[in-house]
Amino acid sequence: MTVTRVLDDDAQIRAELRERLGSDGLKIAQPDEPPLFTRTPESPMQPMHWKWADLHAYLEELGRVLDLKAGGDRRTLRLANPGLEYGTTPTFWASIQYINPGEVATAHRHSPDAFRFVMHGNGCSTTVEGEQYEMNEGDLVLTPNWMFHDHVHNGDEPMIWLDVLNISLSRKLENIFFDPYEAGVQPVSNQPQKSWREFGSGLMRPAGPAPKLERNPLLVYTKAQADAALTLARGLEPDPVDDVILEYQNPAGGGPALPSLSMKSQIIRPGFHGLMHRHSGSKAYYALKGSGTMLVNDQRFDWGKGDFITVPPYAKVQHINNGTEEGGLFRVDDTPIFRYLNAYFEETIPADGQTA
Ligand code: GTQ
Ligand code: FE2
């Protein structure tokens, strides 16, 4: 009938134009192509849950069979997403690095930002632009982009830490730069922990002009200070979605610790039943202690200490703790990018299931 004939004509016109326009490097929308817009984000990334027992077994195996290549390669187990061609999420890779006593991961620098969150062990130090930091369990050490960094393990047990780099983003932006450091490891500066000594209190800073907002002047956040902050926050009204949650802040201006990555630490107390929430961007969780349940879209993940969970962009998440022990989660998300673009969307779904 008329309507069908019009559509057929339209398809025919478009097919003919496809040929001619294509040869001139031009195109128009075609009926068989995905539309420019979806009502809400539709990501091919899948929610994932890795159990610590499995990860640990693989890590021990990699520690035995993989050498650190000359030139300072890293021994890492990458958390790959089966729905994505590249990355743990569309913006970052989360990997677990394993380093044996006596090993040296030689210095280099790159355009992606990175951080390490220490999972197990001690005795390793990371040197960032000459500032040397000891890595102990629960510490967060930043290697902001284009700063040289090397890791030297002088302890007697293997060390395991989480590495996150905003490298999927850098790759999409076609902005990957890399420089090896010629000398292997960097000399340690005569002010070995300068950024920590200046800004590590989180409360006070060197007298004089305020530091520039853009570049985080602090390179390390210790477990002791994160724990102290969470203890204070326990006395606040619980967050209806996240119970107790704090962000590692850039002490200059209070922004995220890295321009594209926000790191958070969170406590889910026994009996907590959070509201379901979704927001722009993707995230990864590492379970620090206890246990809990996370509902991610239509999947249920019962997590324990050491597990990893990754959440696709704009996926619904609900936190529940039906146990008797406090659950602790370290989280990294890419929300700063969306805030920078003035394109951060979020939605809390009330308990009755109706969208607010
Ligand atoms: O330790 O410098 O997981 O450059 C990936 C790339 C760790 C590192 C990773 C890296 C590093
Ligand atoms: Fe690196």
Residues, the chain, total?
Answer: 356
Q: What is the pLDDT of residue 1?
A: 53
Superfamily (CATH H level) for 48-349: Jelly Rolls (2.60.120.10)
166 lines ligand 1 (CB under 6 A): no
Q: What is the pLDDT of residue 247?
A: 98
149 lines ligand 1 (CB under 6 A): yes
And the tokens for 194?
Answer: 């300068």
How far apart are the C-alpha atoms of 169 and 315, rounded to whole Å? 19
Q: What is the pLDDT of residue 192?
A: 85
Q: What is the pLDDT of residue 68?
A: 87
Q: What is the pLDDT of residue 356?
A: 44
Q: What is the pLDDT of residue 69?
A: 74
How far apart are the C-alpha atoms of 243 and 269, rounded to whole Å? 7
Domain ranges within the chain, ordered by starting residue = 1-33, 48-349
pTM for the full model? Answer: 0.95
Q: What is the pLDDT of residue 213?
A: 84
CA of 104, nearest ligand number? 1
Distance in Å, CA 163 to ligand 1 centroid: 7
* β-bridge partners, 108: 149, 180
Residue-wise pLDDT for 286-324, tens only, equals 999 999 999 999 999 999 999 999 999 999 999 999 999
Query: Which burial class, exposed, middle or buried, applies to 206 when counting CB atoms under 10 A from its CB (0-12, 13-18, 19+)?
Result: exposed
- Unique residue bearing structure tokens 């040397």: 132
Report the relative pairing of strands 291-296 and 346-349 from DSSP bridges.
Answer: unpaired
* Best mutation site among 68, 69, 95, 115 for ligand 1 pocket (most ligand atoms within 8 Å of CB): 95
Report the relative pairing of strands 159-165 and 114-120 from DSSP bridges.
Answer: antiparallel
315 Cβ contact partners less than 8 Å away, ≥ 6 residues apart: 43, 47, 278, 296, 297
Minimum-distance ligand 1 atom for the alpha carbon of 97: 3
163 lines ligand 1 (CB under 6 A): yes
74 lines ligand 1 (CB under 6 A): yes
Nearest residue by C-alpha to atom 11 in ligand 1: 74
109 lines ligand 1 (CB under 6 A): no
Q: What is the pLDDT of residue 227?
A: 98
Distance in Å, CA 283 to ligand 1 centroid: 19
**Residues of the chain under the 70 pLDDT cut:** 1-7, 70-72, 352-356
b/e per residue 263-288 (b: at least 16 CB within 10 A): bbbbbbbeebebbbbbbbbbbbbbbb
Q: Are 130 and 189 in contact (CB under 8 A)?
A: yes
Q: What is the pLDDT of residue 8?
A: 78
